[in-house]
């Protein structure tokens, strides 16, 4: 859907899909909901999502042990966050990785140790309080944070490729740009 290929190359093709009840609730979860997650943000960035109704699990053969949600996806004319999908996906993945921590910690995982001062700049430029938790942010606020991060990736070669779990350092060329 984000690449506008295949079925979605013809325009705004709506989808009506069934999901396990809890997954459907996560997809439509509003700001401040304990169900809000990465899936919520990624779906709501690309589509208007609506929970239509619940189908009792006993309506199926064989009957599953859970109920089913019917969710309607109506693609937006333009995504709410106007950035490449891989940038949004990486940022939102990091943002929700430690969902009970302040977003300052989560965004900090996107930066190597020598570039940690940039974390404060992200919040300053996006005008977002770093003491919030990820479930408190709207798609638009996440978009502002993503945009600042994307701009920093453009300015700092190799930053987008950094993975804090890999325990690798940025190339010396990049690190040298930040040493006085």
Residue positions forming the annotated binding site:
1
- Alpha-carbon span 180 to 176, nearest angstrom: 8
With vertex at residue 77, the alpha carbon angle to CA 75 and CA 79, rounded to the nearest 5 degrees, is: 75
Reading the block at residue 128, the tokens are 């977002």
Exposed, middle or buried: residue 95 (CB in 10 Å: 0-12, 13-18, 19+)?
buried
Quote the longest CA-to-CA distance of the chain: 68
C-alpha torsion angle, residues 87, 92, 94, 97 (rounded to 10): -150
- Alpha-carbon span 80 to 29, nearest angstrom: 16
Going by the annotation, the residues of the binding site for S-adenosyl-L-methionine are 1
3-state percent breakdown (helix, strand, coil) of the chain, nearest 5? 45, 15, 40
């Amino acid at each position: 859907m984000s690449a506008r290929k295949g079925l979605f190359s013809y325009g705004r093709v709506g989808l009506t899909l069934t999901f396990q009840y809890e997954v459907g609730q996560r997809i439509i979860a509003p700001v401040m909901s304990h169900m809000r997650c990465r899936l919520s943000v990624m779906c709501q960035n690309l589509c208007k999502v609506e929970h239509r109704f619940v189908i009792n699990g006993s309506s199926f053969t064989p009957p599953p042990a859970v109920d089913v949600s019917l969710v309607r996806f109506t693609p937006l004319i333009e995504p709410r966050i106007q950035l490449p999908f891989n940038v949004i996906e990486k940022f939102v993945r990091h943002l929700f990785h430690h969902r009970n921590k302040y977003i300052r910690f989560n965004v900090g995982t996107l930066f190597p140790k020598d570039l940690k001062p940039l974390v404060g700049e992200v919040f300053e430029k996006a005008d977002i309080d770093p003491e919030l938790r990820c479930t408190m942010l709207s798609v638009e606020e996440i978009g502002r944070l993503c945009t600042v991060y994307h701009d920093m990736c453009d300015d700092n070669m190799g930053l987008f490729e950094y993975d804090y779990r890999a325990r690798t350092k940025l190339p010396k060329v990049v690190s040298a740009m930040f040493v006085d």
